[in-house]
Amino acid sequence: MNEYNYIKKQDAEIYEAIMGEEAREASGLELIPSENYVSRAVREANGSVLTNKYSEGYPGRRYYGGQDYTDAVEQLAIDRACELFGCTYANVQPLSGAPANVAMYFALMEPGDTVLGMDLSHGGHLTHGHPTTSINKVFNFVRYKMKDVDTGEIDYDELREVALEHKPKIILAGFSAYSRELDYQKFVDIAREVGAYAVADMAHIAGLIAGGVVQNPFDYGFDVITSTTHKTMRGPRGGMILIREDKEIAQKINKAVFPGLQGGPHMNLIAGKAVAFGEALRPEFKEYCQQVLKNAKAMEKVFLEKEVRLLGGGTDNHLLLADVYGSLGVTGQEAETVLDEIGITLNKNMIADESRTAMDPSGIRFGTPAMTTRGMKETEATRLAEIMIEVLKDKDNQQLKDALKAEVEALCTSFPVPESFV
Say how far apart CA 71 and CA 306 lie, in whole Å. 54
Report in angstroms the alpha-carbon separations of 44 from 38, 39, 81: 10, 9, 20
Say which DSSP state 345 is in: E
- Is 231 among the catalytic positions? yes
Identify the CA nearest to 373 among candidates 41, 37, 33: 37
Selecting among 114, 127, 226, 228, the annotated active-site residue is: 228
Selecting among 237, 301, 377, 393, the annotated active-site residue is: 237
Peptide bond into 283 cis (omega under 30): no
- Is 228 among the catalytic positions? yes
Q: What angle separates helix 12-27 from helix 398-414, to the nearest 10 degrees? A: 100
Selecting among 62, 169, 231, 309, the annotated active-site residue is: 231
Asked if 387 contacts 407 with a C-beta cutoff of 8 angstroms, the reply is yes
Selecting among 30, 74, 119, 201, the annotated active-site residue is: 201
Selecting among 25, 44, 56, 246, the annotated active-site residue is: 56
- Is 8 among the catalytic positions? no
Say how far apart CA 346 and CA 365 lie, in whole Å. 6
315: burial class by Cβ within 10 Å (0-12, 13-18, 19+)? buried
Instruction: For residue 48, give every residue at least 6 positions away whose Cβ sits within 8 Å of its Cβ, in sequence order, or none.
Output: 268, 271
Selecting among 54, 186, 189, 301, the annotated active-site residue is: 54
Q: Print burial letters for 169-191: b (CB count within 10 Å at least 16), e (below 16).
A: bbbbbbbbbbbbebbbebbbebb
Q: What is the DSSP string of 359-410?
A: TB-SEEEEESHHHHHTT--HHHHHHHHHHHHHHHHTTT-HHHHHHHHHHHHH
Which residues are part of the catalytic machinery?
A: 54, 56, 201, 228, 231, 237
